[in-house]
Amino acid sequence: MVFEQYPPLPGRKTDDMEPNIAVLTAAIQNEYEVFSVRGGEEALRVLEQNPGIVAMITDVVMPTMDGLTLIRTIRADNKYKNLAILANTQCGDLQQEEQLLSVGADDFVHISTTA
């Protein structure tokens, strides 16, 4: 999801799992304008077309472009230097968190792997 300035803050959610999209959208849709996309390439297009986006939540595992590649690509472009990037991670996966921080994620949204 990508978020804007309030009201509503533009936000962006990049995830290919419908349950994750639904939960995160429901949690923030009253405070943020939400753009839901299914992958990294679409996320880049939406960022380019919506310069007011100030934050993004991305999944790590996605088709065509994974979250690590997406974050690296975004951080390589100076115009997104102030974009806040949160990554969906599995709770307790410290190695994944270290990788995400090393490529430019700002923080994490922990997801449960149990139903």
Residue 45 is predicted with a pLDDT of: 93
Computed on alpha carbons and rounded to an integer, the radius of gyration of the chain in Å comes to: 13
- In the chain, the number of structural domains is 1
Residue 10 near residue 35, CB atoms below 8 Å: yes
CATH number at residue 63: 3.40.50.2300
Mean of all residue pLDDT scores within the chain: 77
- List, in sequence order, every beta strand (DSSP E) within the chain: 2-3, 9-14, 32-37, 55-58, 84-90, 107-111
Burial class (CB in 10 A: 0-12, 13-18, 19+), 112: exposed
- Does the pLDDT value for residue 77 go beyond 80? yes
Residue 74 near residue 100, CB atoms below 8 Å: no
Side-chain half-sphere of 49: how many Cα atoms within 13 Å? 8
Lowest mean pLDDT across 4-8, 41-45, 52-56, 90-94: 4-8
Q: Model's pTM, two decimal places?
A: 0.75
- Does the pLDDT value for residue 53 go beyond 50? yes
Residue 33 is predicted with a pLDDT of: 75
Residue 61 is predicted with a pLDDT of: 81
Q: How far is CA 56 from its chain centroid?
A: 4
Q: Determine how many CB atoms are found less than 10 A away from the CB of residue 4.
A: 20
Domain that holds residue 27: 2-111
